[in-house]
Amino acid sequence: MDTTAERQDISRYTIPLSESKAKEWIDSLSLTDFGDTTKRLYHGLADLNRRSLSPVVRIRLGERLRPTFDLMLKNLHRHLSCRAFPLPERGQRIFDLNQSLLLEFSGLYQLAALDMITRDEVNKRALQIAIYRVLDYLGLYLISTYSVYVRTRESIWHDIHHMYLLASERGLDKLRLSEGREGANSIEERYIQLNVLPLFKPYSLRQEEVVRIARYVESVTHLIKISNEPLHPDANQNFVHAAMLNNDEPAVIMPYRDLPHSPTVRVFNLAPVILDLDRQIQEISQEQNSGLILKNGLSRNLLKRLVFHLTTIRNRQFNRFPKQEKMAVVLGMQGVLEAMHQAYQGGSSDQKREEDILFDNMLYGEASLVTGSKNNMAELSTNMQIWDLINSSIGGYGLRWPHPESSAVRVGELIGLRDISQDDNGWVVGVVKWMEYINKQGLFCGVELLSTKLQALSVNAVLNREVTNKFPQQGLMLPSVDGLREDPVLILPSYIFQSGDKLVVTLQGREEQVMLSSLDECLGAFAYFRYKILTEEDRKSTEDDFDSLWADL
């Protein structure tokens, strides 16, 4: 027999079906103790979504809950602000809770919408609100998923397309809604936002960029039109952005010739967005500063990548071959330089011991560290990791991090790799192009190979302009490689150097003067320059210019 205390405890975690009592329950939620509020909402929503209730009443309860629910989400996001991947155990649990709450809350409105249609008791205003909220909170679910590189749950996009189609069939998709998300005052506009964001390849974005891009999409939603056919086929004949409403995936870029002619196809006209991005790139280029951040939080580097994703159909260039090997991995410019330094010294015993300890630890767990003392671990000079190599091609590698511990890997980061099956295998360098975490499988990364040969260099000075950064700056020279790269390139720190700079560099013990030419800003979180070595004639022609006069004027 239930005691009074037990009944009161149950009522704390059960949302009453009566609107008046539900209002009292919602008013009792604490705005200072978010732990208690989150617990009550989690259990309350799960219970409510499993009980029979009038669709209109269910929607009204959701609308009463919404302000408190949004505050609770902000609090959860505060705990996910600083992240490494895979998420640590506590971070993963907070993320899972956040996603479960979003699915339950969007599910509340989805139940109401479907129930209303099934019962043939359609209240247009209520149905419009319900469908909008489903899309809205599933949109938040997607952004959270992209932010931590987690694969989206199956059927999410099926549900999104289904809700939009229901609204479109009933003429609700274009009706205005007063309390909508920024830039989305109708079901159609929110649906556009959800589909446009994945076109920018969220799993290939760098940390926090997806949030900035989502804000940008909100600001240009009004420029984007949606239709059953391309609005301007002549102007956009090579590619088209389209969603298939009967598929469980978002809009994609495809060749115009491959576009199906079907009532379940929706085409997004993104030409005005591409023009807007190009305009911003031109404005920043006039400032001669690739690191300049605009008011909307987009740098020239990011803007160029956005245009690339919206205008480039990428097909796999090379066949992948499955592998089951182990790779030693170092991250970042400094990690690659340290690994190279040890390799050029003939492979130090410390490095070999480090690889052995890491390999044993990977196979047998921390107990294997008994063979190598803790002091040895403290002496290790590089932050080396052992990853699984799952596939390879001429163009790069597929890697997997199967461990629960977080790795310091980042999208866009320089990465050094070495096959540890043989001692004489050298280091190669690449860039992390994408990441994706799959539950119970691990963190997966795609690495684009930059070079199988590399040389360290130092930049001692910039000759043609004043630079506030300290010198020397360390970098890499990647020689030309047949079939991969025709010209040698320099990899340098970001946002210090620019095209046209004349540098004094030390390479293989020789001092040279070089001029930087084209800069690839889309490749990674570093500067990737083509360059030219200045000859005596080049230097003389430079002196024949007015450079030698400036100090005397």
How far is the C-alpha of 51 from the C-alpha of 16, rounded, in Å? 11
**Model pLDDT for residues 169-179, shown as the tens digit of each residue:** 999 999 999 88
- Specify the higher pLDDT residue, 178 or 111: 111
**Model pLDDT for residues 155-170, shown as the tens digit of each residue:** 999 999 999 999 999 9
For position 150, what pLDDT does the model report?
94
Structure tokens, 117: 């249609």
What average pLDDT score do residues 378-407 get?
84
* Residue 142 half-sphere exposure toward CB, CA atoms < 13 A: 27
**Model pLDDT for residues 268-325, shown as the tens digit of each residue:** 999 999 999 999 988 887 765 545 556 578 888 899 999 999 999 987 656 788 999 9
For position 239, what pLDDT does the model report?
92
Beta strands in 222-364 (DSSP E): 225-227, 239-244, 252-255, 265-269, 321-331
How far is the C-alpha of 138 from the C-alpha of 131, rounded, in Å? 11
pTM (whole model) above 0.85 = yes
Q: What distances in angstroms separate CA 424 from CA 37, 141, 343, 382, 416, one per listed residue? A: 59, 47, 9, 19, 16
Give the best-scoring range by mean pLDDT among 158-162, 477-481, 490-494.
158-162
Q: Give, to the nearest 10 degrees, the angle between helix 124-147 and helix 209-220.
A: 150
497 backbone dihedrals φ, ψ, rounded to 5°: -105, 160
The residue with tokens 């970042």 is 332
For position 381, what pLDDT does the model report?
46
How far is the C-alpha of 385 from the C-alpha of 408, rounded, in Å? 10
243: β partners: 266
Lowest mean pLDDT across 73-77, 244-248, 360-364, 455-459: 360-364
For position 497, what pLDDT does the model report?
92
Answer whether 373's CB lies under 8 Å from 380's CB: no
Side by side, the strands of the sheet bearing 225-227 are: 225-227, 265-269, 239-244, 252-255
How far is the C-alpha of 540 from the C-alpha of 544, rounded, in Å? 6
How far is the C-alpha of 140 from the C-alpha of 39, rounded, in Å? 20
For residue 354, pLDDT over 60 is answered with no
Answer whether 239's CB lies under 8 Å from 254's CB: yes
Lowest mean pLDDT across 28-32, 110-114, 140-144: 28-32
Q: What is the CA radius of gyration of the chain?
A: 28
Domains present along the chain, CATH in parentheses:
10-223 (no CATH), 232-311 (no CATH), 321-451 (2.40.10), 455-547 (2.40.10)
* DSSP tag of 481: B
C-beta contacts of 235-243 below 8 A and 24+ residues apart = 235/271, 236/269, 236/271, 239/311, 239/313, 240/267, 241/196, 241/199, 241/267, 241/268, 241/269, 241/270, 241/310, 242/266, 242/267, 242/268, 243/161, 243/195, 243/268
**Model pLDDT for residues 50-89, shown as the tens digit of each residue:** 999 999 999 999 999 999 999 999 999 888 766 789 998 8
Q: Which helix (H) or strand (E) holds 283?
A: helix 271-286
Task: Using DSSP bridges, classify how beta strands 252-255 and 239-244 pair: parallel, antiparallel or unpaired.
Answer: antiparallel
For position 295, what pLDDT does the model report?
56
Confidence of residue 371 (pLDDT cuts 50, 70, 90): very low
